Structure 1
Amino acid sequence: MSLEEMPWEETHQARQERLLRQMRGNPRVAYMLLHGPVPHWVKVARQHRDQKAREARQAATDARTELTETEPQPTVRTRGRHRAPRRWWGWPANALGATLLLGLKTLGILGASPTPDMGSPT
C-alpha cells in the first residue's frame, strides 16, 4: 500500500504502529516499548555534555594557537632526556693508568727503581 493509494492522511498513531511493525526484532525498539520513550531531560543532558565538550576543544585549540603565536618554535630538535648521559670517568682513568705504566716501563729500561733501595734485611 503506497501513500498515493491512501485517500486520507495517516495519523500519528497509525504511522507509529506501522513503523513499529516494520522494525520488529530491533533491540532498541523492544527496549522503548518496554520502558517507554527516552525522557526529554536525557536529550537535554546529552546536548549540554556535547556543548561543553565542543567548548573545551575550542578552548584547547585557542590556547594552542595562542602559544604558537607568542613563543617562537625551535628550528632544531633538541635531544630528549630519554636516558642519562654517559659518564666520562673511564677516559681519564685509562689515560692516568697508561701514563703510570709508561713511566714504570721507562724507569725499568733505564735501570732505576721507583722506590729507593733500602737494602735487604738479611
Structure 2
Amino acid sequence: MPWEETHQARRERLLRQMDGNPRVAYMLQHGPVPHWVKVARQHREQKAREAAAAQTKPKPTLPRGRHRAPRSWWRWPATALGASLLHGLHVLDTVAPAALNHHIGILN
C-alpha cells in the first residue's frame, strides 16, 4: 500500500472523528471498557428484545374440549335403577311372599 497508517495515528484520527461522543469521552477518562461489560450489555439487550417479542405474541391457548375420553353418563343411573328394582323385588319376596307371588309372573 502506498500509504500505511500506524495504529496510534489511526486511533487519533478516529478519536477526532468521534469527538463529542459520550462513550468515547468516558473511555478517554476511565480507560477502555472491559469485555464483561460488553457481554453484560449484550445479554441485557437480548433479554429486552425477547421480553418485547413475548409481549407482542399472543399466548397459546389450550384447545377446547376434554383431554380424556368422556365418561358415559348412563352407566351409574342404569346401575342404580336396576339395583333398586332388584332390592324392591327382594323386599317384596321377604315381606309378603305368598300375597304377591301370584300377581308377579317372574317370582316363583
TM over 0.5: no
Instruction: Specify the TM-score bucket, using the shorter chain as the normaliser.
Output: 0.3 to 0.5
What is the TM-score of this pair, normalised by structure 2? 0.43
What is the TM-score of this pair, normalised by structure 1? 0.39
